[in-house]
Structure 1
């Protein structure tokens, strides 16, 4: 598992592989392939630091037995690997938190009809209803991360409600790549990360990160402890295989760290 980073450090960022889309392909038939467990094993065998799943109430991809199977696999063979379960705590997420006690629960404000997550929590609007569920998860020994838009002004409120980390919602960054707004958007994410760290929060990131944009993001945004990558990762794995895809994402992370170190030496 990753350790807390500070703004300006070059601590390694952990790669958590989201396996939702492996389950989505499997669910189109009744043959049990591709296997979510085998996918996890292949990624972890070559250095992935964690596994993420986002079980939705309609079980469109990851199903309850997948979550249990992965929890058992990690407990048996990779006890130090982080298991991150994402979801809406007002839907089905807390059932998994109470039963399996993963290392991390990422609270995401998605509705049951959304095709994918598309926004973060809002403060102070969501504070009071989140507070008791955050406290419950933490009492079970589960780290809590809140899915947040890159709004620096909200980070202190996230800490005040009891969360341990934020996961910066990065679709806005991905969409800005190659446009005149890219640097301004990246600056906003960097400012949000610094605000989170200043408030005493850890920083995660995810959504539409890929081999094409990951290094640039991590180079510019300080203190990112963990990235959760699913859609692009599984798309790459279809072409490259799990082993090569995992290694290439780890390469992207290593390159960002090296570039950060070089920048610091030049300052």
Structure 2
């Protein structure tokens, strides 16, 4: 008989005795390592130095992680600002007793905003091209990284989907449940593979990388369109907004899609690349 649902109850970490290595953290590390290798190939193709690549890696890691964390707090868990402020920036929980939690609660919308800001600072301090030149290239590894982040969410049984109302789906045993839910994290991860492949194709097989802002815009349109539609089968991360026509994730995605369309079809650069 074909198994319509999966009972999901994995271990979340490897206990090394002195430290617990969480698989979610491993997914982020994998994302950054693969992203670095892809960007290294792109920078080599563009004739950029290894020193500028190393600086890019530092700016990207700090910007994305800090932005993702702040984005989660601002959009989904603002009570931490007054109730447990230091847990925003440290991998510990202080309210109700000291506890190591790792870096949990990361929002992709915040990461996207921070990526743009960090690339602006990186360009100003290091590269001296245009911000869009950088963004057109870093979105390729970022799209691949999003795949591993969502796999990490699935391992953690977080950002879960709604109940399917049928025998199909995933039963998240760690949540004490018995009814199948949509594996929304895997839906996103699967779609992001195609976002990465499309961007990779446009960079290497077409001349669209010469059109400033096009690949960045395409990334925004593809990734946030996926996010918008997958949100229909996700549980609302803000329970008090569960009855809204569109949830927080969808409302935040719409501006990104519109900005992406602007850069793809309307934007005209004021200066030419060197």
Report the TM-score when normalising by structure 1.
0.27
Instruction: Name the one with the larger strand percent.
Output: 1
Report the TM-score when normalising by structure 2.
0.26
Instruction: Name the one with the larger helix percent.
Output: 2
Q: Which has the larger radius of gyration?
A: 2
